[in-house]
Structure 1
């Protein structure tokens, strides 16, 4: 009596897409809950400063506890699909699973984290600045191929040779949906994006050549009698040391003469300290200038009421 191992069909495109959407939903929900906990414990300013690290930690935790432990993600479990190595036709090895977790998350984080700290014009700075754009284009190209062929949904899975099998048998009486049209539209979009990029490079080269003929490279530019080079080299607002309210030069109040019970109402909800360089948002909430500026660079919404936030419309307040 001979026994054979059961064979499973390859997962359909719809199953893979629904699985990915489900995983994105759970990762987003987990991050939101994590941010709520961190905001309650450490404050919104700390959350804004370490936003990228929290995003990385949430993704690594979610996929580490699923893919890292050789189990299905919640999305894969929902659609009844399993990962399989196209080379060995088995479950991915430990090294492959580690790569599946780290490759989609760590390179993008490193590029966003360390690119601003590198010297302008250096090779490392240019590489890290262009890395997110290159990865985005490659991901869109891979997605277009997936819509046409239906094999590898992400670029990392294509590089590692990871595809999906389904525990649900094929139904010979039904025809799976086709996403070929989406693939063709994505290819048209990438083509248009490439043509626009080439035109932008040509325009930039002509503009730079014209500027070199008119201006002197050694000439300094000033804004309100302040050199541009000094303004660009200023310390990041979130890295400035906190100053006492009594030493705040951007308020006309004598803070030392204000009663303690009234000074308690002048606290900033981002740094949880007494406001300095007070400013108001369009929705009427007040914060320290450095706090709300650092927050607005990461999220264009008020940290209290979630209304839209424009840094250009912040209103300095000198008498509150």
Structure 2
């Protein structure tokens, strides 16, 4: 009788899968940049990332095979009864929820502020209600981050579901190898779990304190979203000074960053670009990612 997979096997499997997913994403990015140019890639880079992930898990999990990470550590996906491989519908639901749900949720939360700025919304929704909805968006993003971090803490405690998608579909792992150390005592991640819960609780209490103090900001780990940030996200670069546009996303620059050759981009755009090609998108001068210069307070001039 095979035993359930423990945390080390599941974590190593996911790390290995992420390596191959990143390789596939980089390959798709290179193809898109070669055929359509950097601007098209910058516009569709998130969709290409989702496509790369769907292709990888579609050719493995959906097709009924082990992923390269699962094969590396000899674990196998099983249903909640741990007696059979999940059926095709459950495997397809797992891949769609795992790969597409974060992207769709992010697009939805980014679309709501733009929808509130339309004339049709202005006619049907009062300004007070629109402002209230806009303030709820960073709260929702923070809630999603809390759910994810709580889920990870539960995984470190129990070691069953590494992703929310696996918890929702009930897919678990069995260790399908026998060798040295099989059946011995498994390493415990309980200390890491309790540290994660303590950190999560402190972060949540700090955010509640800031909301109660009326600062109007919500922190999600390392990012801070305020009303001015939301307004900047909704801004469209069309109709503004061309000198303020990012050459990659063609919108008003956010968190302006300079390359060693002197060109300016959004921090998010140029770092994602350099993750695949360590060169300037305009003049093709090669440089290391560490040489990017973030221009603090440059956008507030």
User: Equivalences for 1:1-320 in 2 at 5 Å?
Assistant: 7-87=1-81, 89-114=83-108, 115-116=110-111, 117-119=114-116, 121=130, 130-169=139-178, 171=181, 174-204=184-214, 236-237=236-237, 281-286=258-263, 293=265, 295-300=266-271, 302-303=280-281, 304=284, 305=287, 306=289, 307-310=291-294
**If the length of structure 2 is used for normalisation, what is the TM-score?**
0.70
Cα distance in 2 for partners of 1:8, 1:186 equals 30
Once the two structures are superposed, residues 233-262 of structure 1 have per-residue CA deviations (whole angstroms, 9 ceiling, x without a partner) of: 99623x679xxxxxx997xxxxxxxxxxxx
Provide structure 1 residue ranges, at least 5 long, that are not aligned to the other structure.
Answer: 1-6, 209-227, 242-247, 251-267, 272-278, 287-291, 316-320
Cα distance in 2 for partners of 1:280, 1:107 equals 30
Aligned length: 250
Give RMSD over aligned pairs. 3.6
* Contact 2:257 2:292 (C-alpha < 8 Å) held by counterparts: no
**If the length of structure 1 is used for normalisation, what is the TM-score?**
0.66
Pick closer, same or farther for the CA change 1:159–1:269 going to 2, 3 Å.
Answer: closer
- How far has the Cα of 1:81 moved from its partner? 0.3
Cα distance in 2 for partners of 1:154, 1:81 equals 16
Higher helix proportion: 2
Pick closer, same or farther for the CA change 1:52–1:270 going to 2, 3 Å.
Answer: closer
Pick closer, same or farther for the CA change 1:34–1:104 going to 2, 3 Å.
Answer: same
When structure 1 is superposed on structure 2, of 33-42 and 49-58 the one drifting more is: 33-42
Provide structure 2 residue ranges, at least 5 long, that are not aligned to the other structure.
Answer: 118-129, 218-227, 250-255, 275-279
Cα distance in 1 for partners of 2:40, 2:87 equals 38
